[in-house]
Each structure stands twice: as structure tokens, then as C-alpha cells.
Amino acid sequence: MLVLKRKQGQAIDVGRDIRIILKEIKGSHVKVVISAPSDVRIKRAEVEKEIGVENLRAARCDPRDITIDLSEKLEVGDPLEDQT
């Protein structure tokens, strides 16, 4: 792990294609700008963690407990609608 101190407006380059800029610092909040190629996935760690927790909960759930009626959500021409 690398720990760097940066001031507002300064940047960190990661490899040749990724640049992280500290756009604004106010108290304990930091606005970050990340410039990266479109094939690089950029995710907020806390959101990714919550998705993982929810996926584990869903995997442990009994499918018989799921009572979602999708028929009301389908529209004419919807690819999920029966085309017979």
C-alpha cells in the first residue's frame, strides 16, 4: 500500500491511463476526479461491499419466499413477454 499526501488541485497518476485529481477538500470531505479509460471499472468500495452483503443474503434465501409478480411490470413488446 502506498500512502500519499496531496493538496487540493494536485493529482496522482496510476500507470499511463489513470489520473486521480483532488478537486476539492472541505473538512473531512474530499471531491475526487478520476480520469480513466472506459474499460476500467471504478467503484465506490462501500457500495460494492453492500452489494456483496445483499448478494449473500439473496443466496441464502429460500426461493419459495420470493413473491414478486413481474406480470404487471411487463409492457407490450417487452423482450421478456411471451411472443407465441
Q: Is 71 exposed, middle or buried (0-12, 13-18, 19+ CB in 10 A)?
A: exposed
pLDDT in tens, 2-28: 899 999 999 999 999 999 999 999 999
pLDDT in tens, 31-64: 999 999 999 999 888 888 888 888 888 887 777 7
pLDDT of residue 70 exceeding 90: no
Q: How confident is the model at residue 81 (pLDDT cuts 50, 70, 90)?
A: low
The domain in which residue 18 lies consists of: 7-36
Per-residue pLDDT at 36? 96
- Within-domain flag for 26: yes
- Within-domain flag for 25: yes
- Within-domain flag for 13: yes
Look at 36 and 79; give whichever has higher pLDDT. 36
Domain count of the fold of the chain: 1
